[in-house]
Amino acid sequence: MGIWSNLLVLLVIFPFCTPDPNDEMCLTHLSQSLQDPLKNLQNWTKTSFAKPCDGFTSYLQGATCNNGRIYKLSLSNLSLKGTISPYLSNCTNLQALDLSSNAISGPIPLELQFLVNLAVLNLSANQLSGPIPEQLAICAYLNVIDLHDNQLNGLIPQQLGLLVRLSVFDVSNNRLSGPIPASLGNRSGNFPRFNASSFDGNKDLYGYPLPPKKSNGLSVLAIVGIGLGSGFLSLVISFTAVCIWLRVTEQKLDAEEGKISHLMPDY
């Protein structure tokens, strides 16, 4: 009985790690949606997807395992193309996703909202387009949202300001527009929650902490002032020219009258 009791304790403390079908589906669809022109992910095969982890050991490049589940994917700077599969949400134990510095295009999937354990999301330096999903605010553990250097457009979702753990937020160099949500640029003492570098490079984005936009032309008052000034100057020039002409004409008439009176005989 002692041996069986000890074995039971070991099984409770160190349970057998069986492959997770959700992780398999997640990795299979992600591999299908991405293109790997430089063959950096040669060990991403169907066989590996069936059992990507053995405890804390990973059989996939860029994947880190925790107790038999994928908990981190780091596939940065691998010249990957294609899109982000919505089935990525099946990696429900995922805590960090880094696909930065590739050439991935398309939208950010709304399904990322189901990665409720996600703490780090880095999709920067790609070619992603479309809006930033407001559903990301459901991922309450997010500490990092880095989306800089993409082609994202639309408004910055107000809901992202509700992420109380958020310590890094960068959407610079996109095509975002509209006001910066006060909850992301609000003041804390003399410092903003996120400074201007988090928002720079978006032509139509405005609001604190970005500096006020400079005027791209003359104001209406300036234009009116210039118009009135030009009109007044033209009037002065015209009036002066008329006065000079009248004066010259008067002098000529006086001279002619002098000549006539000199030629007239005296009676």
From first to last of its 267 residues, the chain has per-residue pLDDT tens of 455 444 344 334 444 455 578 999 999 999 999 999 999 999 999 999 999 999 999 999 999 999 999 999 999 999 999 999 999 999 999 999 999 999 999 999 999 999 999 999 999 999 999 999 999 999 999 999 999 999 999 999 999 999 999 999 999 999 999 999 999 987 665 667 899 999 999 999 999 999 987 755 544 444 444 454 455 555 545 556 545 655 655 665 555 545 434 434 443
- Say whether both 130 and 223 belong to one domain: no
Residue 170 lies in a domain: yes
Nearest one of 140, 144, 147 to 125, comparing CA atoms:
147
- Dump pLDDT digits (tens) for 151-197: 999 999 999 999 999 999 999 999 999 999 999 987 665 667 899 99
Structure token digits, residue 171: 């959407």
Residue with tokens 């107790």: 67
Residue 8 inside a domain? The answer is no
Say yes or no: 183 and 235 in one domain: no
Distance of alpha carbon 171 from alpha carbon 198, whole angstroms: 6
155 and 109 in a common domain = yes
Quick check: is 4 in a domain? Answer: no
Question: Residues 163, 76: one domain?
Answer: yes
The count of domains in the chain is 2
Give domain status of residue 9, yes or no: no
Residue 235: its pLDDT value, please? 53
Mark which of 163, 181, 206 sits at the end of a domain. Answer: 206
- Domain end, chosen from 187, 206, 225, is at 206
Virtual torsion, Cα 237, 242, 247, 249, nearest 10 deg:
140
Q: Would the CA dihedral through 50, 144, 134, 36 be positive or negative?
A: negative
Residues 143 and 257 in one domain: no
76 lies in the same domain as 193: yes
- Is the pTM higher than 0.95? no
| pLDDT at residue 233, rounded to an integer | 54
* Structural domain includes residue 129: yes
Give the model's pLDDT for residue 160: 96
> Is residue 178 included in any domain, yes or no?
yes
Does residue 3 fall inside a structural domain?
no
pLDDT at 100: 98
Q: Could you tell me if 224 and 187 lie in one domain?
A: no
CATH code for the domain of 165: 3.80.10.10
d(CA 225, CA 128) in angstroms, rounded, equals: 47
Q: Which domain holds residue 241?
A: 217-261
The DSSP element (H or E) to which 206 belongs, if any, is: strand 204-206
Spatial distance between the Cα atoms of 39 and 54, rounded to a whole number of angstroms: 24
Could you tell me if 60 and 37 lie in one domain? yes
Residues 133 and 232 in one domain: no
Tell me: do 47 and 179 sit in the same domain. yes
Q: Tokens 């304790």 identify what position?
A: 9
- Output the pLDDT for position 234: 57
Q: What is the largest CA-CA distance in the chain?
A: 167
Structure tokens at 195: 């400074």
Residues 149 and 50 in one domain: yes
Residue 90: predicted pLDDT: 97
DSSP one-letter code for 93: T
Q: Give a yes or no: residue 138 inside a domain.
A: yes
pLDDT at 224: 42
Residue with tokens 């720079």: 200
The answer on 198 and 221 residing in a single domain is no
